[in-house]
Structure formats: structure tokens, C-alpha cells
Amino acid sequence: MLNSAHVTEPTRRALLERLDARYEREFFEVAEFERLQALAVRLLPHDPAEMDLTGTVDRRLIVGVGDGWRYADALPDGEAYRALLAALPDGFETLDGEAQDTAIPALQSSHPRAFEDLLAELTEAFMAHPLTQYRFGYAGFADAPNWPQVGPNELEPREVAYGPQ
């Protein structure tokens, strides 16, 4: 779909950039970055070699952009994320998945706002990634004129009907 006539050139370019985006660690220290990556994989199972979610967070913090709002009493995102990562057990990134999963609820309880913000940021990056969209069968980025318009419970001509007919 991405290479079809159903996608405009600006949208295709943006998605291809997102597909290939890899960022050098700049904001976090090496140990923090490794912890963040381990946490990100537990929260949103993905292959960091395919999707650089941790690098996306690091890059946003270095560039200094935000989502346009924040609580007045909240720490800046970078400070809040560092405190969140510091609250994880020592060696979190080397623990097995079950042990990591056991540690996450305490982290969520001790730093609820930072945890929620990080989870939302990681989820946004995950869902905006072209591989996720492809795997979910999402075609909402098809923005070219004449894209078929369908109603509720209707199939597009390119779709295969699933389930009983």
C-alpha cells in the first residue's frame, strides 16, 4: 500500500523516514538508555532493531519538543523519566521477562504520572511506525484522492472477507 498510488508523495516520504529512523543516544546515559529500552520492550513488545522507540524518546528530549501541555507541578519530561528509570530494580535490563514484569506495577505506583507519560509516548511511537500499521492492516495513511469510501460493515474492493459469509 505504501508504494501504491493511494498514498501521496509527502505521506510516503514521512512514513519511509519513520520506517528507517534510528537515533544515536544523546539525552540518556548508557545505563539509563538500556533500562529504558528493556522497559519499552516489556510495555510494548517489539524488536528494537526494527523500531527505535527508545531512540525516538531520547531524540525528542534532546530536541526539546513536547505534546503541547503538561501539569504545572510536573517535572520536565527528561527529569521525570530519569527518576522513573532510577526507581527500577538494579539490573532491571538484565532480568528475565517475568522478573521485569513483576517490577513494573511498583514502578507504575511510585511514579504514576511519569509512567503514564512514558507509556503514552512509547505507544504513540509504536502505533505511528509503518511496521505496526502494516501488521495491523491499517491503511488510514492512504490519503490520495479517489481512495474508496466505505460505510460501516462494508468491505473495500481490495479487502478479503474474513469469517462466515
Task: Tell me the pLDDT tens digit for each residue of 88-139.
Answer: 999 999 999 999 999 999 999 999 999 999 999 999 999 999 999 989 888 8
Angle, vertex CA 75, rays to CA 69 and CA 76, nearest 5? 60
Place of cell 507504575: 108
Radius of gyration of the chain (CA): 19
Helix 30-43 vs helix 53-63: angle between axes, to the nearest 10 degrees? 130
Distance, in Å, from the CA atom of 62 to the CA atom of 59, rounded to the nearest integer, reads 5
The pTM (predicted TM-score) of the whole model is 0.83
Q: Which residues contact 61 (CB under 8 A, 6 or more apart)?
A: 27, 28, 77, 78, 81
pLDDT at 164: 46
pLDDT in tens, 38-69: 999 999 999 999 999 999 999 999 998 887 78
Confidence of residue 147 (pLDDT cuts 50, 70, 90): low
pLDDT band of residue 148 (cuts 50, 70, 90) is low
| C-alpha grid cell, residue 101 | 514484569
